[in-house]
A and B are shown apart, each in its own frame.
Chain A
């Protein structure tokens, strides 16, 4: 695995050194390291010749650009009204009990983070969750558990 510095350099090479490439660079880091560390943000600022505060200001604006450590798998359960009507609370409670964490927390083994999301765009097939970039609509508590168990097995 690349060091953070090498990863940033590689992403900057690939996406370019202009301000316009800031988002893809930050997205690339999150994909690899699951969050934006202070080291990563400083490195990006150096490479793109931007103020570190400016880079942090941009990163902290976006929900998917986490600036606190996250687990390898980020679970986002949609919480808007139609998913609420179809039982998102049950899904959250089930996952929360199974993983032994509250919303916003990460498991001790750093495998999972449980979050809520504002509308994932599956209002007709709620409740729905996103794990990393994969979407799982029409959940039942049982189905949600089985999916997460699969991730637990495949994450070493």
Chain B
């Protein structure tokens, strides 16, 4: 089968003629409104998974009044199957710093923070050195913006933006009620732009190459490229920057092991796609959106074990604040164990599916709301593996 899968090289491109600082110098000569227009025109949507248009987020925050605003880089990557941000932080941190600085200029912020997950503390030594150089370069240019690091302490839910603010403010990382949204009241209750690591790098690169080149990649619903982290049963696990909007069968042709039975798209909170649906599944906002995680399973894997592992993860990482998520995760886990042991009839799985519906409506944040994605897609497509 012919493969049209397009590999691109924007984020990790080494272009000696253009450093992130030069992009910054060039960009800060332009008006904030022009930069926002370019970002909106490029079609860039947040690369953390939720997919909110980046240009609009910046615009809303810029339009808020107030002297104090913040730029926050969400580097609390903790979704099983996702490791792209670590690679970006390690290889091209200056592109992240530049994106944050451009954002600071656009919205009128003087401080930026990178919230780095505790599991990535080993990156800090190198990052702090590079950040010091970058902050010094900003000082030299009389740019009134400084970037700082904050370390997380091992809580998956802190990747949720409002939980991340709570954590930065020295509290339990429990998600807040929304609205107000971060653009109105984020860190320290001030207007805040919070973007994923990858999103910020793309803002730098769009400022460098112009929106047209970015927009030319992908589909009308999913503009541009993104970084995928490929793991599981594949001969070539790793990080790949690919065009969005590819059919899943092309992805499997490239990365599968010939015996691929399912791909979990979007990490533990994403959807599990069985082989029979590879042909008509699009990876992008018009199909299955993803923060970048692609976990490949071949026919020797037990999908019961896969689902059990995901549910254990969510049970342990639920912040416990809202009952639908705290109790829901536990009941789903106990439920599939009971069906497996024969203590509950197979039809009980349908009751559990109803529970995920309740969680989707009633849970406070994306963690509890999205547990139904892996649960329902695995139950629907691999029901017999859960029962027997």
Q: Using a CB–CB distance below 8 Å, which chain A residues touch chain B?
A: 18-24, 26-27, 57-58, 61-65, 79-82, 84-85, 117-126, 130, 133-135
What chain A residues lie within 8 Å of B230 (beta carbons)?
124
Determine the distance from Cα of A24 to Cα of B169 in the docked complex, in whole angstroms: 11
* Partner among B80, B82, B151, B153 whose Cβ is within 8 Å of the Cβ of A81: B80
Interface presence of B172 (CB below 8 A): yes
Most buried by A among B121, B152, B174: B121
> Which of B27-35, B135-143, B304-312 is the contact stretch?
B304-312
Contact indicator A81/B170 (Cβ below 8 Å)? no
What chain B residues lie within 8 Å of A23 (beta carbons)?
150-151, 153, 167-168, 170
Contact indicator B233/A85 (Cβ below 8 Å)? yes
Known: A85-B232, A123-B229, A124-B230. A118 touches B317 (CB 8 A): yes
Interface presence of B176 (CB below 8 A): no
What chain A residues lie within 8 Å of B117 (beta carbons)?
121
Chain B residue at smallest Cβ distance from A134: B122
What chain A residues lie within 8 Å of B238 (beta carbons)?
124
Determine the distance from Cα of A7 to Cα of B175 in the docked complex, in whole angstroms: 31
Contact indicator B77/A27 (Cβ below 8 Å)? no
Known: A61-B155, A62-B155. A123 touches B295 (CB 8 A): yes
Those of B132-188 within 8 Å (CB) of chain A: 150-156, 167-174, 188
Determine the distance from Cα of A124 to Cα of B174 in the docked complex, in whole angstroms: 30
Known: A121-B119, A133-B122. A81 touches B173 (CB 8 A): no
What chain A residues lie within 8 Å of B229 (beta carbons)?
123-124
Contact indicator B78/A118 (Cβ below 8 Å)? yes
Contact indicator B154/A63 (Cβ below 8 Å)? yes
List the count of A-B residue pairs having beta carbons below 8 Å apart: 121
Report the minimal beta-carbon distance from B258 to chain A, rounded to whole angstroms: 17
What chain B residues lie within 8 Å of A120 (beta carbons)?
119
Contact indicator A119/B80 (Cβ below 8 Å)? yes
What are 10 A-B pairs with beta-carbon distances under 8 A?
Answer: A62-B153, A62-B155, A62-B173, A122-B83, A123-B295, A124-B229, A124-B238, A124-B239, A133-B122, A134-B122
Interface presence of B237 (CB below 8 A): yes
Contact indicator A22/B79 (Cβ below 8 Å)? no
Q: Which bucket holds chain B's interface residue count?
A: 35 or more
Determine the distance from Cα of A64 to Cα of B117 in the docked complex, in whole angstroms: 11
* Partner among A62, A123, A133 whose Cβ is within 8 Å of the Cβ of B81: A123
Most buried by B among A21, A79, A124, A130: A124
Chain A residue at smallest Cβ distance from B172: A61
What chain A residues lie within 8 Å of B77 (beta carbons)?
121
Contact indicator B78/A119 (Cβ below 8 Å)? yes
Determine the distance from Cα of A104 to Cα of B236 in the docked complex, in whole angstroms: 34
Contact indicator B172/A57 (Cβ below 8 Å)? yes
* Partner among B82, B83, B231, B316 whose Cβ is within 8 Å of the Cβ of A118: B316
Determine the distance from Cα of A130 to Cα of B317 in the docked complex, in whole angstroms: 19
What chain A residues lie within 8 Å of B295 (beta carbons)?
81-82, 123
Determine the distance from Cα of A53 to Cα of B152 in the docked complex, in whole angstroms: 21
* 6 pairs of A and B residues whose beta carbons are closest in the complex: A22-B170, A63-B154, A124-B237, A62-B153, A123-B231, A64-B154
- Besides A23-B170, A120-B119, A121-B119, 6 new A-B residue pairs in contact (Cβ under 8 A), listed by A number: A19-B171, A22-B170, A23-B168, A84-B309, A121-B86, A122-B83
What chain B residues lie within 8 Å of A65 (beta carbons)?
153-154
Contact indicator A63/B121 (Cβ below 8 Å)? no
Most buried by A among B78, B120, B231, B238: B231
Interface presence of B118 (CB below 8 A): yes
Interface presence of B130 (CB below 8 A): no
Contact indicator B153/A124 (Cβ below 8 Å)? no
Chain B residue at smallest Cβ distance from A122: B83
Determine the distance from Cα of A124 to Cα of B117 in the docked complex, in whole angstroms: 18
Known: A121-B86, A121-B120, A124-B238. A82 touches B81 (CB 8 A): yes
Determine the distance from Cα of A21 to Cα of B293 in the docked complex, in whole angstroms: 33
Interface presence of B60 (CB below 8 A): no
Contact indicator B80/A63 (Cβ below 8 Å)? no
Chain B residue at smallest Cβ distance from A133: B121
Known: A80-B309, A84-B309, A118-B78. A24 touches B119 (CB 8 A): no
Interface presence of B7 (CB below 8 A): no
What chain A residues lie within 8 Å of B232 (beta carbons)?
81-82, 85, 123
What chain A residues lie within 8 Å of B78 (beta carbons)?
118-119, 121
Report the minimal beta-carbon distance from A50 to chain B, rounded to whole angstroms: 9
* Partner among B80, B83, B313 whose Cβ is within 8 Å of the Cβ of A124: B83
Interface presence of B341 (CB below 8 A): no
Determine the distance from Cα of A63 to Cα of B309 in the docked complex, in whole angstroms: 18
Contact indicator A62/B154 (Cβ below 8 Å)? yes
Report the minimal beta-carbon distance from A31 to chain B, rounded to whole angstroms: 10
Interface presence of B301 (CB below 8 A): yes
Chain A residue at smallest Cβ distance from B317: A118
Chain A residue at smallest Cβ distance from B308: A81
